[in-house]
Amino acid sequence: MATFNKKTARKSNYTDRLKSLTSLENAVLGSLMGFAIGDSVGAFMALQTEDLNKMIPIALLMNGGGTFNLAPGQGTDETEIMLSAAYGLLESGKKYNQNLMGEKYL
């Protein structure tokens, strides 16, 4: 499985890396990205009671603001939890490690 190296990420050619993903890795990456994007868009409109249909085009721009005054493209704690779980699963290899998962949440 492809791994993410923070030290070399900026130097990497993302297009080549994306082309080398297996279909499973591509599906996982798409799921993680979709979650983060959906969280960012949805957080803009969270707890709103006014006409949500008018807010959707603004939320999709991901310019920030909204209910929680987020920065542009910023996710919420839900995205942070999802990323913590993903890193924990990647680092634990093929075996679930409860202690490692717990550490990632802290």
Query: pLDDT (tens digit, 9 = 90+) per residue, 80-105?
Result: 989 988 888 888 887 888 888 888 88
Q: Give the pLDDT score at 79.
A: 92
Six token digits for residue 102: 């717990």
List pLDDT tens digits, range 64-79.
888 889 999 888 999 9
Q: Which amino acid is at 43?
A: A
* pLDDT in the model for residue 78: 92
Dihedral sign from CA coordinates of 91, 32, 82, 10: positive
- Cα gap 48→66, rounded to integer Å: 9
Q: Name every residue whose Cβ is closer than 8 Å to that of residue 68 and which is 6 or more positions away in sequence.
A: 43, 46, 76
Which pair of tokens denotes residue 38?
């959906």
Q: Compute how many other C-beta atoms are within 10 angstroms of the C-beta atom of residue 45.
A: 15
pLDDT per residue as tens digits for the range 8-67: 555 557 777 778 888 888 899 999 999 999 999 988 888 888 888 888 898 898 898 888
The predicted pLDDT at position 32 comes to: 93
